A and B are shown apart, each in its own frame.
Chain A
């Protein structure tokens, strides 16, 4: 929670195109000054949702509220917002400063004020001195900075961004991302950012809304989404994850030789088919048992190891046809002199259990955390 005012409120937004449901009862609030990221695969409805917020599309049902006022049906210019699209979409026949000053000009702001405000905002996005350049003489990153300046110069209450950096190369993208976050904090502007890139979502978002097939799967801080995913989709969409099918046996879920305990409050019956989801970094691989403090330990054999920069990906077989991918820091692996074929102790520090067949939202806490 950033401010204590709700800036944007979506209430049961639904939208269909040609018979297929793009958005299905989407509801959430955005706090004033918050940086909210809507994350999801392509086709999940996130862009449609942003267009509805902007007033470029209209929802079939439900309401959009800005500061408690229903803005449904209002055109974009009556909504006091700025939008940055995936492509910079700069007006080709206008210079940088004419592009940035466009919104002020159509508002009837006097010329000397436009010049002043445009140069202030260009300074802020790092494009001082570019005033008289034409858009086609700028790089993709610079064009997107101009587009951002053009939206921000109007000092809107809400900034909407639709995958603004996805067409840029990785270095430019990273630089723009951190600059955007800085600018957003300086302005304190409520921001909704749509992306399919989880790295972007985690770096930028105060909170993340994970969407899939027109529905909200999970809303939470990056930590909550990563560590306590509410649905299997969220767990598997974000980060990498081991998925192992199993069944409930004697109130536990066997994983190789380890009988995993069911999380407290979960409503599984005996013999229910389940999926166990474990993130690679939550699988500890040790040569000596002394370092591990829990009883839920099993033995395994290292099948292969791949160095991924600062981390090493280790594939361990637990026997019984179960093998897991673990990720350990490189330093730890070197210290232990782990190598392929080694017999090791395997310990699972954190896992989630989901029913196998369903994709419905699970409201009970189903993630069990073991204390290391």
Chain B
């Protein structure tokens, strides 16, 4: 072994020691927090063999929950694409008093605990709430039904489209819109033909994030849905209910499907973002 001059350890050795202990730490975290829990889910779900898994996943309540989750996520995404684009447009294009405050409020749904969000919606739109009363008197139920769940999901996922579209709009130079205007385009035509094609990447990225977040939403959903099987039960709520009644295999089966779905969305997004660059 080589003698170190003056008995000092060279920097290279220290660097290596730091590097490998950090890599070990990260790997440990990854295994304990992500890989082991995920694989145990697969293990539990396959305890009854493939047939057991299929029978669990094709039970009417399980199928309903998955289908319902997809419908809710799709609807919430659709709503937020429309609302979010308008909000992003207003926030990047116009100057008005209170703009900064409004801009800060956009991120509020990320900061507010989901259960709190669900609770406030319940207070306002529930049968006894200020708005809910008005609707229930006219025979329209908002809470413990699809509209309430959709409302909660729109609220929770609100920032995603706004932020991803604003980022593109801020970079989109004003000159393209000005050129369109000098070529005779109205404001609406300019938006459809010039602005929209330019923001479509941001819009898609925001939509995918919205969809994925909505698919996994739990806290607010359980407050506003009432967790009624075959009526208002989304997939995460189904997993929770099955687990509570001791049906670990049933919970795992839906969990696996949900996890695979989310993974596909995440990697779809990564692939798409890579393509567009």
| Co-assembled chains A and B | yes
A83 in the interface (beta carbon within 8 A): yes
A263 in the interface (beta carbon within 8 A): no
A89 in the interface (beta carbon within 8 A): yes
- Measured as residues with beta carbon below 8 angstroms from the partner, the interface class of chain A is 20 to 34
Tell me if A54 and B182 are in contact (CB < 8 A).
yes
Tell me if A154 and B179 are in contact (CB < 8 A).
no
Cα separation A119 to B241 with both chains bound (whole Å): 67
At the interface with chain A, which of B20-28, B56-64, B183-191?
B183-191
A77 — nearest CB in chain B belongs to which residue?
B184
B75 in the interface (beta carbon within 8 A): no
Could you say which residues of chain A place their CB within 8 Å of the CB of B198? 92-93
**Interface 0/1 of A144-172, CB less than 8 Å to B:** 00000011001000000000000000000
Tell me if A56 and B182 are in contact (CB < 8 A).
yes
B200 — nearest CB in chain A belongs to which residue?
A93
Cα separation A81 to B181 with both chains bound (whole Å): 11
Tell me if A82 and B182 are in contact (CB < 8 A).
yes
Q: Separation in Å of the B274 CB from the closest CB of chain A?
A: 19
Tell me if A77 and B185 are in contact (CB < 8 A).
yes
Identify 26 residue pairs between A and B in the complex whose beta-carbon atoms are under 8 Å apart, listed by A's number.
A56-B178, A75-B181, A76-B181, A76-B182, A77-B181, A77-B183, A81-B182, A85-B179, A87-B175, A89-B173, A89-B176, A89-B179, A91-B176, A91-B194, A93-B197, A102-B180, A102-B183, A103-B183, A103-B185, A106-B183, A106-B185, A106-B193, A150-B179, A150-B183, A154-B183, A154-B184
Q: Which residues of A contact B (CB under 8 A)?
A: 54-56, 75-77, 81-83, 85, 87, 89, 91-93, 102-103, 105-107, 150-151, 154
Which 3 pairs from chain A and chain B are nearest by CB? A103-B183, A83-B182, A77-B184
Instruction: Known pairs A77-B184, A105-B193, A154-B183; list 13 more (Cβ under 8 Å).
Output: A56-B182, A75-B181, A76-B178, A81-B182, A82-B183, A83-B178, A85-B175, A85-B179, A89-B179, A102-B180, A102-B193, A106-B180, A106-B189
Q: Which residues of B contact A (CB under 8 A)?
A: 173, 175-176, 178-186, 189, 193-194, 197-198
